[in-house]
Structure 1
Amino acid sequence: MESISRRKFLGLGATAAAVAAGGALAAGCSSPDPAHQGSADSNSGSGKAVDFSKMEAGTLKVGAGHADIKLDAYCPIEEGNTQAGGTPDFVHSEGYYTNVHEGHDLRFSIVLIEFNDQRYAISSIEHVNPVNIDADKKLIEQLTGVDPASQWYHNPHVLSAPHDIPQEAIDAAITEACEAATASLRDAKYGFGEGVTYANTNRCYETAAGWNQVSNDAGNTDHVLPVMRFDDAKGNPIAILYTVNMAAGTLENAMNSEIDPAGRQITCDIAGLSERAVEEYYGGDCVAVYFAGCTGDQWGSVRAEYNYVTGPKDDLEYKTGFFDTAAGFLMLDVASSRLAVAVIDAANGIETGDAHVVAYENQKFEYKQLDKDKLKAGSDPKTFQYVQSESKPTCTTDVSVFAIDDVAFTGVKPEMNIQSLKDVRAGSPYAHNIMQCWVSFDGDSVQGYLPDQEGFDQSGKQASKTSFMPGSAEEMVGHAVDMLDNLYPQA
């Protein structure tokens, strides 16, 4: 198995001290609101009883910036667009994009974190699936001095964005955002808290025809809302980072030319609108960034494309349809405002303080690759056949870990099911654990869905669109936990 490791472990200026079993909150962290206990799972891991507050504090500086991705300036969004050699790249399976909904521009955001003179970049691009990841990270390096190996590059999988965005528009946004982040870099404090959001729900439900995509509030899900806050020396928020276990898809396929003469409108969806609401609340130059957590079997609890089942219990019929455009955008306003309130409530409960340890590691791993052509080779169309590919028996993807004191982020490129987050949480030595999907170390790593064993057993959408053999999610969780163990300081 190929393993490429880039490890940076900084700030261990004093000996860690042991505290009571179960682990202590890191300095600068806030415990969940007691009123919320029981209403959501906790991100707490197994803990190794290290009191980070008794370590020597490091020097932390943070800067943040964002910029709109101005599509029209580089490629007019209209039917008949023939960018890139005659192919209408703005055509989507649901119809042409006709315009950007007013005030809903996509954007690129970046947070620079400098700890004891080592600099990291955490960025997010509001996109469906960026393809020039290596070039983007190289440009970020040129503008900020952050090596690509120390960059956390994420996209929240905004499903109401084009699958292809002109690179010139992306480059312009990256440049503007990086310049703002570099110019605003200043002494900072950090803090972490957990709120609760019901913006997401499980989307797997069994019908007579098999497992379908239906909102399933009784299914496996997770409503923890992790929030990290960075303040300047005066207590003003520099950046607020939050993670939701769903793709940004309130509108998704609803706005399309088949049902609306206005056509398919581009929008930053719940990711961008909730960010803007948080920023408006705090004012100043605060930058809020939405991150997609586990998106494999989770989607928005409010969606303009409705999916439901009806009929007798032994013959449930799957139905789908769309609310009209006005209703869809109203639903988006409600959903994004509700999420923003939850983020603000969690952020307001955080007390920021010193950072003591910042750790980062990325490794590449090989996994067994699925032969997709043989999925439906059996006699039962509701049960897939999982056969390893003979022509390409393995595929490679990466796992990243970024930790500040007792708060750890695990980043993976595939769309994991929620159980994988819970498994990482159960095995992690860190007190607080977040998993983010759509985190890309480079452009070569394999993505797509990666269900847990239950997801494979269901033979649903996630299993139909994966490149991985069953067992790969559990193997990836094991790799993540090993990395977390490796980075965690010894008591």
Structure 2
Amino acid sequence: MTGRPSSPTFTVGAERINITPTDLAGLNPMDGRAFRGVHDPIHARVIVLQLGREVTAFVSIDAIEVGNMDAERQRIARETGVAADHVMITATHDHSAPRLGRVTPGALAHPGGPEVDAYTSAVIGKVIDGIRAARAHAVPARYGTGEGHADVNVNRDEYTARGWTIGFDPDGPSDKTVHVIRFDDLSGRTIAAIVNYPVHANVMLGTDLLSGDLTGAAAGFVENTLGGGAIVAFAQSTIGDQAPRLFTPGAKQDGVKAEAAWHEADTQGTMLGGEVLRVIGRISDMREAGLLAAANRTFACPVKAGVDVMADMHQEPVSSVPIRLSLIRLDDVALGGVSGEVLTAIGTKLRASSPLRQTLLVSLVNDRVGYLPPDSDYDRPTFEVKGSPVQRGCAEPGIVEGLVAMIRQTDRQEN
């Protein structure tokens, strides 16, 4: 008599890779000047999940943004065996790190030259090595989720006598929830965690020093405290309208101002990291995965020209710009990736519309086209509306309805 086939084993592997460039020439920070040195190293973090035939790779990179990652994901697929549509590459939006990839036509982004192309190729090569290593030492695992609260972000759309500006609005929409997905081996050792929280990593902007900034400080603090080789991958949530609570604007190139900026970044990173550790410690419902699935979708939005944008922003004159959606689903938990800087209200609407227990929106995944405000914001000329490349009425329903449809599509997948 033949018994029932055993369920596939859920495995997890993770790697942290140093991607600090040895040559800073041509890898300009967002303020348009040249990097003048390295304050602290930057990293890529890779978490590989496998259940039966399904394999996904979540890649978090200390970068200002990633451009269209289609070619890079195809390269990853060829060299690692992880399907391109099962790879999510996201940037921590570190304003004191280089960008990766090319600007999508119609997007409002900061273009790079041949040095960025070479750096992108080198970083993806290291990511490929990291995925291979993560797969090689992946172990049977369980996962759990938890939520906390961190007050290190604030809405930045402030109305002044001069009109709307980037500032400080403590009464504006701001999601302060810290979402954590924790992965343990069967002995209870934490292998990795994904942290989902919205805050611009721009505290070090103006120092012209390469740095992991606030998010790098948070991830490093948790990794060092947990020990045991744990990897913490940061996934920016509805970041578009969220500034760090402590931020000194302007040039900070002398030693005193640069060090003060680092204290602001490190302090807020430690606060956020401390809450992540508290959440990790309180997650008690650790389970084996029964469903692992991934999906991709692209929809086009009519282009809107940027208004009063930064001088080094680039936008090609085309009629539409693609918005790329991606999904990694683990049972009733999903990471929903969007290729732009999504604002708070859209994330709130997605969570309310999703059929799953927990749906985490991740901005800046597999591309960065610009700001993606909710339709209601187009009545106010905020920085994000001026800097959005899409016309009203497209991004919000496309993101929410698209990700919900992808979630329902994965209901039918079997591992």
| TM-score of the alignment, normalized to the shorter chain, above 0.5 | yes
Please provide the CA RMSD for this pair. 2.5
- Whether 1:335 and 2:268 are equivalent positions in the alignment is yes
- Whether 1:65 and 2:65 are equivalent positions in the alignment is no
More helix by share: 2
Query: Which residue pairs with 2:371 in the alignment?
Result: 449
**1:91 Cα deviation after fit:** 6.5
Q: Is the 8 A contact 2:29 2:96 kept in 1?
A: no
**1:229 Cα deviation after fit:** 0.6
Query: Which residue pairs with 2:242 in the alignment?
Result: 298
Query: Which residue pairs with 1:130 in the alignment?
Result: 66
**1:122 Cα deviation after fit:** 0.8
- Whether 1:110 and 2:46 are equivalent positions in the alignment is yes
Query: Which residue pairs with 1:32 in the alignment?
Result: none
Query: Which residue pairs with 1:193 in the alignment?
Result: 146
Q: Is the 8 A contact 2:335 2:361 kept in 1?
A: yes
Q: CA 1:182–1:143 in structure 2 vs 1: closer, same or farther (change >3 Å)?
A: farther
Aligned ranges 1:412-431 → 2 under 5 Å: 412-431=338-357
Q: CA 1:100–1:475 in structure 2 vs 1: closer, same or farther (change >3 Å)?
A: same
Other structure's SS at 1:95 match: coil
Runs (4+) off by over 3 Å: 88-94, 320-323, 485-490
Percent identity, aligned pairs only, is: 24
Q: Could you tell me which amino acid in structure 2 is paired with residue 274 of structure 1?
A: A
Q: Could you tell me which amino acid in structure 2 is paired with residue 448 of structure 1?
A: G
Deviations 1:220-262 (A, max 9, x none): 11111110011111111111110111232222x231xxxxxxx
**1:399 Cα deviation after fit:** 1.4
Query: Which residue pairs with 1:470 in the alignment?
Result: 392
Provide structure 1 residue ranges, at least 5 long, that are not aligned to the other structure: 1-12, 14-55, 82-87, 256-263, 306-319, 377-388
Query: CA separation in 2, counterparts of 1:91 and 1:203?
Result: 21
Other structure's SS at 2:35 match: strand
Q: Could you tell me which amino acid in structure 2 is paired with residue 286 of structure 1?
A: A
Other structure's SS at 2:296 match: strand
Which of 68, 80, 96 lines up with 2:34 in the alignment? 96
Q: CA 1:219–1:178 in structure 2 vs 1: closer, same or farther (change >3 Å)?
A: same
Q: Is the 8 A contact 1:296 1:415 kept in 2?
A: yes
Q: Is the 8 A contact 2:156 2:167 kept in 1?
A: yes
Q: Could you tell me which amino acid in structure 1 is paired with residue 381 of structure 2?
A: S
TM-score normalised by the chain length of structure 2: 0.85
- Whether 1:246 and 2:180 are equivalent positions in the alignment is no
Deviations 1:124-163 (A, max 9, x none): 1111123472343234324431011111111111111134
Q: CA 1:474–1:135 in structure 2 vs 1: closer, same or farther (change >3 Å)?
A: closer
Query: CA separation in 1, counterparts of 2:318 and 2:70?
Result: 24
Q: Is the 8 A contact 1:291 1:436 kept in 2?
A: yes
TM-score normalised by the chain length of structure 1: 0.72
Q: Is the 8 A contact 1:450 1:472 kept in 2?
A: no
Query: CA separation in 2, counterparts of 1:71 and 1:249?
Result: 19
Query: CA separation in 1, counterparts of 2:169 and 2:251?
Result: 17
Query: CA separation in 2, counterparts of 1:304 and 1:173?
Result: 34
Other structure's SS at 1:97 match: coil
Q: Is the 8 A contact 2:80 2:128 kept in 1?
A: no
Question: Max radius of gyration: which structure?
Answer: 1
Provide structure 2 residue ranges, at least 5 long, that are not aligned to the other structure: 100-111, 309-314
Pairs aligned (count): 381
Query: Which residue pairs with 2:172 in the alignment?
Result: 219
Q: CA 1:416–1:168 in structure 2 vs 1: closer, same or farther (change >3 Å)?
A: closer
